[in-house]
Amino acid sequence: MTSPANPVSPLPASGADRGHLLTEQINPHSQQLDRLTTLELVDLFQREDQRVMDAIAQAREDLAQAIDLTARALGQGGRLFYVGAGTSGRLGVLDAAECPPTFCTPPELVQAIIAGGEGALVRSSEGLEDRSPDGAAAICDRGITPLDVVVGITAGGTTPYVHGALEAAQQRGASTIFMACVPRSQVPVTTDVDIRLLVGPEILAGSTRLKAGTVTKLALNLLSTGTMVKLGKVYGNRMVDVAVTNQKLEDRALRILVDLTGLDRPAAQDLLGASGRSVKVALVMHGKGCDRATAEALLAAQGGHLRQTLEAP
């Protein structure tokens, strides 16, 4: 899908009142927050956080569209980029960082761009989110192409850094996804997929690291995991593309082999060693009765999809 060339959205003027935004409004249920007992405070958080799952359910079709778009692009050699500032940027960094150990993906496949760079992970750099040209420059620096997908994450929907990045990505022909916690009527955009995660006003007014942050983390979990499932990184509900890099992951790999092959643990350990410590290769070796080189060739012929490889004649 080709992204539109027109600007992503009209942004509020500098110094404009953003009080109308859903994420900035006052929550009527927490107006006495500083007078609550500790247990009352915990109960209030619990009630408000129930809205997170409702927001995911309401966005289900847009999330599914984003997964299909991303899987299609990555399957053709593209990359996935998360762009954000503050909490949104840090959540993007977290999800990108977890893809290599979970799905054995190369670090360049899923990347995160955060306003302020790595320093923003450990110290406040929120002032940098107002610089739209910096977001555009980051897209240029990463060499974004029409094969890539760029996800702009901004809880309040108005972060100039994110909008600058999305506009630059569109100009380069990349697919774009917008993820925000305000209604479309408050911040309209023109992107390939527009995901709105409406959790309502925060318990602590304007602190979008709370419900908005939680729902964003869930949405990113869905997007990355769903994409990897579509790319054949999963067999059943097993992480068969797990990187066997420590004792915990070796134990996980061996349990997968024992469960799926019926071998005992010592035999599974021998099979894992013979496969070059690749669970997918080991399963093909066992299922097809072949050596490592043949198993690797069979997997490559099916684009790395284990199920397709095992079910092929």
Point out the catalytic residue in the list 24, 40, 61, 98: 98
Count: domains in the chain: 2
Domain CATH code at residue 37: 3.40.50.10490
Cβ partners under 8 Å of residue 236, min gap 6 = none
**pLDDT tens-place values along the chain, 313 residues long:** 444 444 565 565 555 666 688 887 788 999 999 999 999 999 999 999 999 999 999 999 999 999 999 999 999 999 999 999 999 999 999 999 999 988 989 999 999 999 988 888 877 766 677 789 999 999 999 999 999 999 999 999 999 999 999 999 999 999 999 999 999 999 999 999 999 999 999 999 988 999 999 999 999 999 999 999 999 999 999 989 887 888 998 999 999 999 999 999 999 999 999 999 999 999 999 999 999 999 999 999 999 999 999 999 8
Which residues span the domain enclosing 255?
Answer: 247-311
Judge if 48 and 126 occupy the same domain. Answer: yes
| Same domain flag for 296 and 158 | no
Exposed/middle/buried for residue 65 (C-beta within 10 Å: 0-12, 13-18, 19+): middle
Residue 163 CB partners (closer than 8 Å, separation 6+): 7, 8, 9, 11, 132, 135, 152, 154
Last residue of a domain, one of 172, 198, 230: 230
How many CB atoms within 10 Å of residue 145?
13
Contacts of residue 244, defined as CB under 8 A and 6 or more positions apart, other chains included, come to: 250, 253, 272, 277, 278, 279
Q: Is residue 149 part of a domain?
A: yes
The residue assigned the tokens 């979008």 is: 208
Question: Is the model's pTM score more than 0.85?
Answer: yes
Do 167 and 266 fall into the same domain? no
Residues 124 and 99 in one domain: yes
118 is catalytic: no
Select which of 24, 48, 129, 167 is catalytic. 129
Q: Within this chain, do residues 156 and 101 fall inside the same structural domain, yes or no?
A: yes
Q: Would residue 98 show up in a list of annotated catalytic residues for this protein?
A: yes
Same domain, 265 and 162: no
